[in-house]
Chain A
Amino acid sequence: MIDTTRPFTVAAFNQYLSEKKLMASRCTRCGELSLPPRAICPKCYSGALEWMETSGKGKLSGFTSIYIAPTFMVEQGFNRENPYVSGIVELDEGVKISARILGVDPKKPEEIKVGTPVSAAFIETGEGEARKTYLAFEAS
């Protein structure tokens, strides 16, 4: 049973991620779905929202293989010789989100196709207090 009483904050979204759940917010007035979640509906401006677990299934809308990485990714071992793929995924529910993309070859980006079916995966780094979960999708 998912605790759906959490506030619509970044911390709550990340807490769900650490529980391996990709959660969106849904407006109880007009039904508009928001991912990442929002505390106010962008369509009808209502503040009445509820958490909804997504299917975690979708397709790749756009992607890139990053060779020049930001500092925190360099610290994880990524660089010119070891690139990684990030992208934007459109879920079956119609909403999109940024994520790491796994299960593709970052060194052969020309072989990666927009439209590739993907499903949610979760990358865990660090231990104890420093433990963090990042959203990823795996090409299926």
Chain B
Amino acid sequence: MKPKFRQLPRKVAMVGAGICKFGAYPDKSSRDLFVEAYKDLEYSVDKGLDPEVIEAIYIGNFSSDLFERQGHTAPIMADSIGLVPRPAVRVEDACASGGVALRQGVIAIASGMYDAVLVGGVEKMTNLPTAEVTDTLATAGDIQYEIPVGFTFPGFYAVIATAYMHKYGMTPEHLMKVAIKNHENGALNPNAQFGVTIPAWMEGRKAAAVKKGKPVPAWHDEMEFLHDDGANPMIAWPLRLFDCSPITDGAAVVLLVSGDLARVFSDNPIYITGSGQASDSPLHDRAYLTTLAAAKLAAQEAYQMAGVSAKDIRLAEVHDCFTIAEVVATEDIGFFEAGTGYLRAEEGVTRRLGEKPVNTSGGLKAKGHPVGASGVGQAVEIWKQMRCEAGERQVPGDIPLALTHNVGATGNTCVVHVFARD
């Protein structure tokens, strides 16, 4: 199939964005997290939000059914913020649910169907023990042909990693550098689940050992810590614990309006100028294991729609569910040539003060990965960075263009958005 490249029929503006602090909250349900994110959004709308204007609600959510035994989540979220009887739609595309919900919102506004819609994402994952969370996430894989042979999600991405290592000469140490970078960024994000750098984490572990009267670990640096099988256990070789995003509770929400209304709500609106999405077969049924073809297609569609290219993009939030996923993502969105993403990461190009900052929020890795919320959470970070509201982690200089890249499962769904200033 040859994709037809289209322009948005009318402008779509993001005029508000909110997020709750990601973490593990035994006493909070999805709706509590969603309400927190919505309240944060209300505060972000420069000229104030009258909820009466909101016409429809799109909610990214992967599996409240299995995580919380609650199906039919969208009207519950709408009701929690007083927005019934507006139509409320749940969007499910695994870990890309949030990004695809955002795309539904963009389509709704661009088509002229609605003038103002709320797009949210929410996931409450920590009610279940870890093994059951792993089993729940595995339902995003092919339960007939992939899961019965023992695959887990870390396992799938580990396969991508071994294929990539073999083809391009990357080592597990290169992946550790990605984790170090994202924790550096997460430490500057007050909403991150793991808001500490890896050196700070190591100091914490040492202090805990002293307190318990146990032998104090003698790590000299981060790399030594990350090679320690006790502190950083193997999950699915070559991926260790610190190569994996955590299990997270969280919610995020953005407000989209038609371009002509942008200034009614905001002094500094951010426009979504490109949206692309593609799907793919299970990992084994693809020509290449070292790239996500659907992500490349989604990026191509989003760039063409926006009339820009990768070199124009100042920064990106990409789907680093695992460290290898960030390396592959930076290639798939065209920041770097295939097989060179790990080298650019090692050189610091993707660090916050590098030439192409990636995951200034800390990414899924450090900020946390409440799966259905992650794609919307990425848009919230772009909102903050482009409006110079990212606090300590603000990327210096003007940010005219930015991008989000959100992946479901092993790239069976990929969705990319391009964001622009006026």
Contact A64 B131, beta carbon cutoff 8 Å: no
Q: Given that A66-B236, A109-B237 are known contacts, is A97 also in contact with B145, CB under 8 Å in the complex?
A: yes
Residues of B within 8 A of A135 (CB): 149
Contact A88 B237, beta carbon cutoff 8 Å: no
Tell me the nearest residue of chain B to A84, going by C-beta. Answer: B150
User: Once bound together, how far apart are the Cα atoms of A10 and B142, in whole Å?
Assistant: 12
The digit string for A31-71, where 1 denotes a CB below 8 A from any CB of B, is 00001100000100000000000000000011111111111
Residues of B within 8 A of A99 (CB): 149
Q: Does A23 contact B (CB under 8 A)?
A: no
Scan residues 277-300 of chain B and give those whose CB is less than 8 A from a CB of chain A.
Answer: 281-286, 289
Scan residues 306-364 of chain B and give those whose CB is less than 8 A from a CB of chain A.
Answer: none
Contact B233 A69, beta carbon cutoff 8 Å: no
Instruction: Determine how close the nearest CB of chain A comes to the CB of B3; give it in whole angstroms.
Output: 16
Contact B147 A63, beta carbon cutoff 8 Å: no
Instruction: Determine how close the nearest CB of chain B comes to the CB of A95; give it in whole angstroms.
Output: 8
Contact B238 A73, beta carbon cutoff 8 Å: no
User: Once bound together, how far apart are the Cα atoms of A52 and B320, in whole Å?
Assistant: 39
Instruction: Determine how close the nearest CB of chain A comes to the CB of B331; give it in whole angstroms.
Output: 17
The digit string for A100-116, where 1 denotes a CB below 8 A from any CB of B, is 10000000011001110
Q: Which of A42, A86, A110 is the one whose CB lies under 8 Å from B149?
A: A86
Tell me the nearest residue of chain B to A133, going by C-beta. Answer: B148
Contact A69 B162, beta carbon cutoff 8 Å: no
Contact A66 B150, beta carbon cutoff 8 Å: yes
Residues of A within 8 A of B163 (CB): 61-62, 88, 114
Q: Which of A35, A36, A68, A87 is the one whose CB lies under 8 Å from B235?
A: A68
Q: Which of A36, A64, A68, A73 is the one whose CB lies under 8 Å from B159?
A: A64
Q: Given that A62-B162, A96-B285 are known contacts, is A68 also in contact with B150, CB under 8 Å in the complex?
A: no
Residues of A within 8 A of B95 (CB): none
How many chain-B residues does the 8 Å CB contact rule pick out? 38
How many chain-A residues does the 8 Å CB contact rule pick out? 38
Residues of A within 8 A of B36 (CB): none
Q: Which of B132, B158, B281 is the one whose CB lies under 8 Å from A71?
A: B132
Q: Does B154 contact A (CB under 8 A)?
A: yes
Contact A134 B289, beta carbon cutoff 8 Å: no
Q: Does A136 contact B (CB under 8 A)?
A: yes
Instruction: Determine how close the nearest CB of chain A comes to the CB of B303; give it in whole angstroms.
Output: 26
Contact A67 B235, beta carbon cutoff 8 Å: yes
User: Once bound together, how far apart are the Cα atoms of A100 and B163, in whole Å?
Assistant: 16
Residues of B within 8 A of A66 (CB): 150-152, 154-155, 158, 235-236
Q: Does A74 contact B (CB under 8 A)?
A: yes
Contact A134 B148, beta carbon cutoff 8 Å: yes
Contact A64 B149, beta carbon cutoff 8 Å: no
Contact B150 A88, beta carbon cutoff 8 Å: no
User: Once bound together, how far apart are the Cα atoms of A12 and B161, in whole Å?
Assistant: 33
User: Once bound together, how far apart are the Cα atoms of A99 and B151, in whole Å?
Assistant: 9
User: Once bound together, how far apart are the Cα atoms of A62 and B265, in whole Å?
Assistant: 50
Q: Which of B132, B161, B235, B284 is the one whose CB lies under 8 Å from A98?
A: B284
Residue in B138, B151, B239, B284 with the greatest tally of chain A CB atoms within 10 Å: B284
Residues of B within 8 A of A113 (CB): 166
**What are 28 inter-chain pairs, A to B, with CB distance below 8 A?**
A61-B163, A62-B162, A62-B166, A62-B289, A63-B159, A63-B162, A64-B158, A65-B237, A66-B151, A67-B236, A67-B237, A68-B134, A68-B152, A68-B154, A69-B150, A71-B135, A73-B150, A74-B131, A83-B234, A83-B237, A86-B149, A88-B159, A88-B283, A88-B284, A99-B149, A114-B165, A135-B149, A136-B149
Minimum-distance CB pairs A-B, first 4: A64-B158, A62-B163, A114-B166, A62-B159
